Amino acid sequence: MKRVVVLGGGIGGTTVANRIRRLLANEVAGGQVQIQVVDRDGIHAYQPGFLMVVFDKMRPEETKQAESHLLHRSIELVKAEVEKVDTAAKKVLVKGGREISYDLLVIASGSVLHPELVPGFSEAAHTFYDLANAEKLRDTLRTFSGGRIVVNVAGLPYKCPVAPLEVSFMLDDFLRSRGVRDKSEIHYTYPIPKVFGIDTVAPVMQKLMVDRGISIHVPFNVQTIDPAKKTMTSLEGETLPFDLLIGIPPHRGADFLKDSGLGDKGNWVPTDRYALTADGKEGIFVLGDATNIPISKAGSTADYEAEVVAQNVASVVRGGGVTARYEGRVYCWIMTGLTQATYIKFDYLHPPHPPTPSFAHYWNKTIYNRAYWDMTARAMF
Amino acid sequence: MSVGAGPATAPATARRVIDARGSWCPGPLMELIAAIREEDVGTEIELLSSDEGSRKDVPLWLEKAGQRLLAMTSEGGFDRYVIQKVR
């Protein structure tokens, strides 16, 4: 029997497991292939929904489901935290002492937030990169009567690269709808000398910001935050005061990757950008945020990568080779207000050109927010 | 292509070398920023980048950050930036 083990029950891990199961349906049903997903808590979060929660556009309970409800019934869910991968012995060691052997391993362990890497962040900053903090920010905004708001990205890479743009545009719209925009300032900070990393997108977003009266501070690499004085200071020497700070904390790959000799300095797995195999490691595939590929750490990236990984896993299980290629496909909506959006669609060879923001793009995004569970996580379409 | 003053080779003191060849924008710049955070004032950092976007972003960031670009040279298929942390 061939054993396929997937580490992580986020979008990448869940959809790739379901896709592998479908491609190998006969082998799984016949007991020649076993698929296991190892996930820390068995709760699947639709992370793009957190930003929607901030602005009361989704309810918190709409952003999560039990992982067991999303995986095909023939896939075993192991609720455990990974401690280490022994690549020589082809075993995954999880907390509690259990060892899980594999023939093929898929690493989809995502990224981990590290607010402690910025002094003062945890005490002073709101964030929306986890559900509990998104709800706190929502509650704060409900009673916000005006003031100086700073949006900060602590470092690159981080997941959902367009989210800081989105929160800025949505804030502008939200404050206008509440009648307090004229009593408020929005300041957008970003670590590189432009408002976004992709050259064809940055000028478009910058123009939208200027049109909305959003102040831009780039490059701004936060060094320290003073919670008492409510100021943040950058490596470039700029100090910004704030009444409300919305921060994207530093990201790293999962800790076990370093302990397993699989991660680089940031705990990202060096990965072949086309084959999505771990460099120099036999039988290990990588997708989603966990890779070191310099492309958006976004849900759509993981989804498109999962198609390729599933095909290659199925091929290898059947004695074939790694022939399917990931061409760098990404598709992200960008909320440019509370009821309008644009999108970016690109791959390694074709940069994105976001269309004019419209209600129609927002509506598509809204539909996807509901369709995600069946369309992407269960991989039913 | 060469800009700035100071030696691009044969440094008088030990340099930290960041080989960011093969990494895309803004990867090389972010690696440089991480090194600037970690090193002491006075340290020289040598950044190797094959990304064309670095040619604009690296000097622009150094100017904003008040750090010194000692040299920038084009070599076969990549650029070599020599930087000194001055603040």
Burial of A34 per CB tally in 10 Å (0-12, 13-18, 19+): middle
CB A108 within 8 A of CB A147: no
Query: Rounded to an integer, what distance in angstroms lies between the CA atom of residue A29 and that of residue A8?
Result: 23
Rounded CA separation A106/B82 (Å): 40
Range of the domain at A95: 2-110+254-329
Residue A356 lies in a domain: no
Q: Which of A246, A241, A19, A40 is nearest to A126 (CA)?
A: A246
Residue in A closest to B59 by C-alpha: A193
Indicate if the pLDDT at residue B7 is higher than 50.
no
Write down the catalytic residue from B8, B19, B25, B71. B25
Name the domain boundary from A250, A265, A284. A250
Please identify among residues 25-44 of chain B the ones whose CB lies closer than 8 Å to any CB of chain A. Answer: 25-27, 29-30, 33, 36-37
For residues A26 and A48, membership in a common domain is answered with yes
Check residue A246 and give its pLDDT: 98
Residue B30 domain flag: yes
Q: What is the pLDDT of residues B54-82, one digit of tens each?
A: 999 999 999 999 999 999 999 989 999 99
Q: Looking at the domain assignment, is residue B3 inside a domain? A: no
Number of independent structural domains in chain B? 1
pLDDT digits (tens, 9 = 90+) for A151-170: 999 999 999 999 999 999 99
Q: Of B31, B42, B33, B45, which Cα lies nearest the Cα of B82?
A: B45
Who among B27, B33, B37 is closest to A294 (CB)? Answer: B27
Query: What CATH number has the domain bearing residue B41?
Result: 3.30.110.40
Q: What local confidence, expressed as pLDDT, does residue B75 receive? A: 93
Residues facing residue A334 across a β-bridge: A342
The fraction of chain B above a pLDDT of 90, given in percent, is 64
- Whether the predicted model's global pTM rises above the 0.80 cut: yes
Given B23, B24, B57, which is nearest A192 (Cβ)?
B57
| Same-domain check for residues A123 and A235 | yes
Q: Which residue has the higher pLDDT, B11 or A131?
A: A131
Is B1 domain-assigned? no
The verdict on residue B5 lying in a domain is no
Contact criterion met (CB < 8 Å) for A237 and B57: no
For residue B83, the chain A residues in CB contact (below 8 A) are none
**pLDDT score for A276:** 98
pLDDT of residue B13: 60
Q: Are A30 and A120 members of one domain?
A: no
Q: What is the pLDDT of residues A184-239, one digit of tens each?
A: 999 999 999 999 999 899 999 999 999 999 999 999 999 999 999 999 999 999 99
Backbone φ and ψ for B40, nearest 5 degrees, come out as -80, 155
Residue labelled with tokens 């701004």:
A220
Total tally of structural domains belonging to chain A: 2
CA closest to B20 among chain A residues: A294
Which residues 287-306 in chain A show a CB within 8 A of chain B? 294
- Are residues B57 and A236, on separate chains, in Cβ contact within 8 Å? no
Does residue B9 belong to any structural domain of this protein?
Answer: no
Question: What is the per-residue pLDDT for B41?
Answer: 94
- Tell me, yes or no, whether B2 lies in a domain: no
Domain region containing B57: 14-84
**CATH number for the domain harbouring residue A128:** 3.50.50.60
Element (H, E) at B31: helix B27-38
Number of CB atoms found within 10 A of residue A348's CB: 15
Residue B7 located in a structural domain: no
Which residues on B lie below 8 Å from A219 (Cβ)?
60-61, 64-65
Last residue of a domain, one of A250, A267, A289: A250
Is the CB of B60 inside 8 Å of chain A's CB atoms? yes
Q: Are B24 and A192 in contact (CB under 8 A)?
A: no
Q: Between chains, do A235 and B36 touch, taking CB under 8 Å as contact?
A: yes
Over residues B33-52, mean pLDDT: 93
Q: Comparing C-alpha atoms, which of A281, A260, A253 is closest to residue A159?
A: A253
Nearest to A92 by CA among A21, A18, A8: A8
CA distances from A209 to A176, A363, B28 (A): 15, 22, 27
Residue A29 is assigned to a structural domain of this protein: yes
Tell whether B50 is covered by a domain: yes
Angle at alpha carbon of residue B79, lines to B75 and B83, rounded to 5°: 125
Check if B80 is active-site.
no
**pLDDT band at residue B22, thresholds of 50, 70 and 90?**
confident
